[in-house]
Amino acid sequence: MTERSDLEQLRHALQQWPPGLDWQPSADQQEALGQLYAELLRGNQRLNLTRITAPAEFLEKHLWDSLAGVLLSPACRQLAAAAVIDIGTGGGFPGFPIAMTWPQGKVTLLDSTRKKIAYLEELGYRLGLSNLNFVVDRAESLGQQLQHREHYDLATIRAVGEGAVCAEYGLPLLKVGGILILYRGQWSEEDGDRLAAVSQRLGGRVLETIPVETPWTQAQRHFVYVIKDTPTPADFPRAIGIPRQHPLMPPDAGQ
């Protein structure tokens, strides 16, 4: 299959965006999302940005999934003009599609890999996006920096670590009232209980969990929304590497 016919397939599929998110891509957005796909295929030839390259998979796992996380929650939809941070953005997901659909928002793409962020910066420029910021750093370090700590209205995190790690990376970066979205595949009641207890230690509270089936392959997804109620204690996030090596436990687990 050639790159050109892959792009044509994606463009065709974008014209038939499924109902369910209460949002349809405009003609301009379809064009821009197609361009994002073409550019990522090109970038992938020199950098390992994403394993998801087939048009149908790209549409479902990168575009639809990225947008479903913010569009399915009424509380998040209100934050379209907000300061957003995508933690561990990798090849730019979910941050890039969010920036492209919410031009009034300011989206910071954070990753610890310099090469990926350098590429995304180039890509943002080529796509003419002016609402992106790019940061190369570790979430643990950023969460202790004055200009980033308690700065964001919305934080997204997908495929970066277990729930407790995501909470420790994300909650310190949020303003009080801000929302952290965990993009998950499987998610059990036990996962939810543990996240609720850990979030409490960080000033957060699980607002809701939305289970959903993807429209094309009926894969199970869960979007977990954690709202920040009070400032995160200064000890968090802990030093680089610690959140992943020793994920926070519920307070009664004796940590």
Residues found near ligand SAM in the complex (CB under 6 A): 88-91, 93, 110-113, 116, 138-140, 158-160
The residues near 99 (Cβ < 8 Å, ≥ 6 apart) are 84, 105, 107, 124, 129, 131, 132
Shortest CB 93 distance to ligand SAM, Å: 4
Closest to ligand SAM by CB, 204 or 243 = 243
3-state secondary structure 165-225: HHHHHHHHHEEEEEEEEEEECCCCHHHHHHHHHHHHHCCEEEEEEEEEECCCCCCEEEEEE
For the CB of residue 85, give the shortest distance to ligand SAM in the complex, in Å.
10
Give 46-55 contacts, CB < 8 A, sequence gap 24+: 47/115, 47/116, 47/119, 49/90, 49/91, 49/92, 49/116, 49/119, 50/90, 50/91, 50/93, 53/6, 54/6, 55/6, 55/7, 55/9, 55/10, 55/13
Taking the complex as a whole, how short is the minimal distance between the CB of residue 135 and ligand SAM, in angstroms?
9
Which CB sits closer to ligand SAM, 13 or 173? 173
- In the bound state with ligand SAM, the residue whose beta carbon lies nearer, of 150 and 162, is 162
Q: For residue 99, how far is the Cα from the chain centroid?
A: 11
The distance of closest approach from Cβ of residue 250 to ligand SAM in the complex, given in angstroms and rounded to an integer, is 22
HSE-CB for 170 with a 13 A CA cutoff = 36
Residue closer to ligand SAM, measured from CB, 151 or 205? 151
Closest approach of ligand SAM to the CB of residue 230, in Å:
24
Which of residues 73 and 108 has its CB atom nearest to ligand SAM in the complex? Answer: 108
Nearer Cβ to ligand SAM (91/172)? 91
Least CB distance to ligand SAM at residue 254 (A): 25
- Which residue has the CB atom at the shortest distance from ligand SAM? 90
